[in-house]
A and B are shown apart, each in its own frame.
Chain A
Amino acid sequence: MATRQLLAPLPIHEKRLANGLRIITVVDRTAPVAAVNIWYHVGSKDERPGRTGFAHLFEHLMFQGSENVSKAEHLSLVESIGGNANATTWLDRTNYFATVPAEWVDLILWMEADRLATLLSGLDQVNLDNQRDVVKNEKRSSYDNQPYGTAYLEIFALAYPVGHPYHHPTIGSMEDLDAASLEDVRNFFSTWYAPNNAVLTIVGDIDEAEIYASVEKYFGGIPASPTLPAHPDLTLAQPLGGEVRKTVMDKVPDPRLHLAFRAPVLADPDLEAVGIATQILASGRGSRLYRRLVRDEQLAQDVELSLLPFVGGASLIVGGATLRPGADQDRLERTFIEELERLASEGPTAVEMQRVAALVESSELAERTDLEEIADGIGMYATLLNDPERINRDLELALAVTAEQVQRAAALFAAENRVVLWYLPVEGA
């Protein structure tokens, strides 16, 4: 693919406090707003057996108050200054983010510092019990009470072996959530929440010198953790080694096929071609799978395939298709897989490569107008690859992928690297 200078590089600047906190800034004055984003390198992979769901439950407790912020005040305070805030937990990390009118950026820095320095002083059994109930309801709403809602939980359990840190779901189990104690919360906080395990990114209408001074003032006195543990070993001893199959009977309206494949890890240069392969196969109505399964042969109502990058062991490609009423289940599975394997045997066409290049460019343009996306991308690359500047090479790397590399990448769709999960309707549902 031809490379063009489409995007000016983001002016990324970085500093590190004596306690290890990384601060990364990008000045962008297109709107009078600022995005503040903090990545902690701790996720569900770091949970102990019997305590699954803990990293995420803990994320909720980070909004329950600290020494100078009262219970549940955090989000209301952000709203009261005209901003938004939230947080997410995933296998490799937990991120907290807020976007506010630029004149309020100091308050957000101060709030982040207050909870990092003093969270435990605001913590009590009442808050823990309340957020445990909230999280259990989150699990019911988002997974247990939704048609196909548990498919992701099944997929991870099938793609990674028992005992591997990616095997269990981030949302955790009801039993483990029930078992979480105040002592667990305290230990988790002391173990992982330290300035030397965090990356703080600020993007927007800011003065960098002022930001550095504020960060020094609010975070400078928080001690580094001298005992930050190593993350668990993510090495996968064995390849999947054959097609892994499971069928789940559930209250669903139509049969649904879910597929998963192990893929190279985030740092692996081969991952780029895997991403392009998934786009050729399933991005938009011009993609191979949409054309064949949804339009031409009318076997499916919908089709998807996407890449979930992880740092160790293996990333995951997950896909799915809901059977069209009246269509044949075996034929849907066979045809879906046939298309994946055809990419491995024949490779993409020149037009497909051109189409994907144009789409990749547009999506980069879109991300560059979103301060939150920029801040989160930088936080991710700094935390997981120790390379915040990587965001400036994303487009170039994607456009450099060749048709041959895409074809080679598609080899991972082979049967010995495949998880096949069917959700079938129970009688009378």
Chain B
Amino acid sequence: MSTSRPGPGTPRAYHFPRAFEHRTANGIRIIAVPMPQRPLAAVQLLLPGGASSESAANSGSTAMLARLLTEGGAQHNAEELVEATELLGASLAAEAGWEGVVIGASVPATRIAGVLELIAEIALGPSVPEREVERGKALRLASIEQAQASPRARASEALIASIYRDDAAYGRPIAGTRESVAAITRERLMQRHHELLEAAQPILVLAGEFDPTEIFARVAASALAALPGGGAGVARASADMPAAPGAPGGPALLILDRPGSVQSELRVGRLGRSRLDPQFHAALVHAEIVGGLFGSRLNRVLREEKGYTYGAAAGFDFRRGRGPFTMRTAVETSVTVPALLEARRQVESPLHEPVTQSELDDARNYLRGTFPLRFGAAAPVSATVAGLSVIGLNVEELDRYRDAVTAVDAAAVTQVALDLSREAERIVVVGDAAQIAEPLRAEGFVVTVKPAIPA
């Protein structure tokens, strides 16, 4: 056994796969990313206009529409659509994001043409059967109940709701609330679909083993070519997602009471940053150091030093508007108070103990080194390209990622921590109130207790 650590061999070059762009005659934007030796291709059709523009009353209608797209179109009913998809060896799914509805498929590259027809069918004329609307609503309501019973999901949802003002879509679950889902009608969903097509700004992203010129021709020859393009886009809501006003007095803390819990789910959050923020890469590095890496300050102290938890993490959720910054951990009930104090201390620590050179190096190396690991398959490549495109960023953004990470210095990380500390802090604990409420009050928190599962 050798006692001296081996260093690196010769580094290999890495480039994000090159993207080719094309606009069809009627203005559909196509981005094709050829990836040799990736026979399982990914296709994503993005229709801009997502949940971020929903009012509180309409919350969840975009997600419900997405769910119902795969319930059939003009030629296939739901079961026929599944059968046609699976016979291609494909999987087909639709999902609503904050900025758009994505219809995505994975399919052997040799059978892309078949899947384009199916995507076109449900994008252009989904049948949205009345019976399926009712079934979709019932399942969504049941899943809201399931989430309330899960300490993890309950804590996260309550934290997010506490960060934003009531009129900000980001404060609501993307699939809607009990009240808003119950109010969904087929008519409302058809209206949402109409709005998506009327915006006429579809983006089609494909990745996998193919020749891009051939792909452009295939799209032009497919039913997808009939999709309206070249439009003015959606009248998008402002990307500004206002935070709820801060509370006076000591730090406000909401306990969601779950009698008999053997653990407390702890959440601390603040308004975070936008993906379009010029300090995006600095925020990534900051989050790795504070709560991303296994060796992050949070995990090192809460798990490896104190043994309070199986794991503790923190980070930003980057969206077009300012998404949340959250700290998440679950600890044994008896250590709730010291664990919460320690978690808050570690999240704020870059203000008092500036990040060290080795922390900075580790975080930057991690982000740089794992970047190629994330993009081995076609699906994450097309999803990432589609996600950037819909908020107006180009594929070049991915090419410059590794250099941008390298350029982040300690001062930039401190600035991220400072900006974060200026936002109001929110704290949610899901646990046994009888055991934790008084000790938390004694520590100076302004504690409110509500049942985890509303009556």
A interacts with B: yes
Show the binding face of A for B, using Cβ within 8 Å: 30-33, 67-68, 71-72, 75-76, 79-84, 99-107, 109-110, 113-114, 117-118, 129-138, 140-142, 144-147, 205, 214, 217-218, 221-222, 251-254, 284-286, 291, 295, 298, 301, 322, 324-325, 351, 354-355, 358-359, 361-362, 365-366, 368-371, 429
A362 touches B108 (CB 8 A): yes
- CB neighbours of A284 from chain B (8 A): 82, 86, 91
Chain B window 130-145, contacts with chain A (Cβ cutoff 8 Å), 1 for yes, 0 for no: 0000010011011101
- CB neighbours of A31 from chain B (8 A): 14, 372-373, 375-376
- CB neighbours of A221 from chain B (8 A): 1
Within 8 Å by CB of A362, from B2, B37, B89, B152, lies: B89
Show the binding face of B for A, using Cβ within 8 Å: 1-3, 5-14, 36-40, 70, 78-79, 82-83, 85-91, 106-108, 135, 138-139, 141-143, 145-146, 148-152, 258, 260-263, 293-295, 300, 303-305, 307-310, 330-332, 361-362, 365-370, 372-373, 375-378, 453
Show 21 residue pairs from A and B whose CB-CB distance is below 8 angstroms, ordered by the A residue.
Answer: A33-B373, A68-B5, A72-B295, A82-B366, A83-B369, A110-B6, A130-B305, A131-B307, A137-B308, A140-B330, A142-B310, A146-B150, A205-B12, A251-B149, A252-B149, A254-B146, A286-B83, A322-B142, A325-B141, A354-B87, A358-B89
Within 8 Å by CB of A101, from B11, B141, B152, lies: B11
Bound form: Cα–Cα A184–B368 in Å: 41
Bound form: Cα–Cα A110–B5 in Å: 7
B14 touches A80 (CB 8 A): no
Within 8 Å by CB of A79, from B7, B83, B366, lies: B366
B36 touches A286 (CB 8 A): no
B150 touches A147 (CB 8 A): yes
Given contacts A83-B370, A137-B263, A325-B145, contact A76 B90 (CB under 8 A): no
Given contacts A106-B9, A218-B2, contact A298 B82 (CB under 8 A): no
Bound form: Cα–Cα A71–B294 in Å: 13
B10 touches A253 (CB 8 A): no
Within 8 Å by CB of B40, from A131, A217, A365, lies: A365
Ordered nearest first, which 9 A-B pairs have the shortest CB separation? A82-B369, A133-B307, A32-B12, A76-B295, A358-B89, A286-B82, A106-B6, A75-B294, A138-B310
B294 touches A76 (CB 8 A): yes
- CB neighbours of B143 from chain A (8 A): 301
Bound form: Cα–Cα A277–B369 in Å: 41
Q: Output the least CB separation between B263 and chain A (Å).
A: 5
A362 touches B11 (CB 8 A): no
Bound form: Cα–Cα A379–B365 in Å: 29
B83 touches A137 (CB 8 A): no
B362 touches A76 (CB 8 A): yes
Bound form: Cα–Cα A6–B78 in Å: 29
Which residue on chain B has the smallest CB distance to residue A100? Answer: B369
- CB neighbours of B378 from chain A (8 A): 369
Q: Output the least CB separation between A104 and chain B (Å).
A: 5
Within 8 Å by CB of A361, from B89, B135, B261, B370, lies: B89
Within 8 Å by CB of B2, from A217, A251, A291, A301, lies: A217
- CB neighbours of B10 from chain A (8 A): 103
A355 touches B87 (CB 8 A): yes
Bound form: Cα–Cα A221–B3 in Å: 12
- CB neighbours of B361 from chain A (8 A): 80
A295 touches B8 (CB 8 A): no
B307 touches A129 (CB 8 A): yes
Not counting A104-B8, A146-B150, a sample of 8 additional A-B residue pairs whose C-beta atoms are within 8 angstroms of each other reads: A33-B372, A72-B295, A137-B310, A251-B258, A325-B145, A351-B83, A366-B40, A369-B38
Which residue on chain B has the smallest CB distance to residue A101? Answer: B369
B9 touches A79 (CB 8 A): no
Q: Output the least CB separation between A376 and chain B (Å).
A: 14
B12 touches A103 (CB 8 A): yes
Bound form: Cα–Cα A281–B374 in Å: 32
Which residue on chain A has the smallest CB distance to residue B110? Answer: A6
Bound form: Cα–Cα A418–B33 in Å: 49
Of B3, B138, B295, most A-chain CB atoms within 10 Å: B295
A110 touches B2 (CB 8 A): yes
- CB neighbours of B88 from chain A (8 A): 358
Within 8 Å by CB of A81, from B8, B14, B295, B305, lies: B8
Bound form: Cα–Cα A387–B82 in Å: 36
- CB neighbours of B377 from chain A (8 A): 366, 369-370
Bound form: Cα–Cα A83–B370 in Å: 6
Bound form: Cα–Cα A370–B152 in Å: 30
Which residue on chain A has the smallest CB distance to residue B371? Answer: A82
A295 touches B307 (CB 8 A): no
A134 touches B310 (CB 8 A): yes
A84 touches B149 (CB 8 A): no
A84 touches B293 (CB 8 A): no
Q: Output the least CB separation between B368 and chain A (Å).
A: 6
B260 touches A251 (CB 8 A): yes
- CB neighbours of A80 from chain B (8 A): 295, 361-362, 365-366
Bound form: Cα–Cα A137–B10 in Å: 41
Bound form: Cα–Cα A60–B275 in Å: 36
Bound form: Cα–Cα A286–B89 in Å: 12
Within 8 Å by CB of A358, from B87, B262, B303, B331, lies: B87
Q: Output the least CB separation between A334 and chain B (Å).
A: 21
- CB neighbours of A113 from chain B (8 A): 1
Bound form: Cα–Cα A31–B262 in Å: 45
- CB neighbours of B152 from chain A (8 A): 146
Bound form: Cα–Cα A361–B72 in Å: 25
A84 touches B40 (CB 8 A): no
Which residue on chain B has the smallest CB distance to residue A72? Answer: B304
Q: Output the least CB separation between A35 and chain B (Å).
A: 9
B8 touches A103 (CB 8 A): yes
Bound form: Cα–Cα A214–B13 in Å: 23
A81 touches B365 (CB 8 A): yes
Q: Output the least CB separation between B220 and chain A (Å).
A: 26
Bound form: Cα–Cα A231–B330 in Å: 36
B263 touches A145 (CB 8 A): yes
Within 8 Å by CB of B12, from A101, A144, A146, lies: A101
A324 touches B40 (CB 8 A): no
B263 touches A141 (CB 8 A): yes
Which residue on chain A has the smallest CB distance to residue B12? Answer: A32
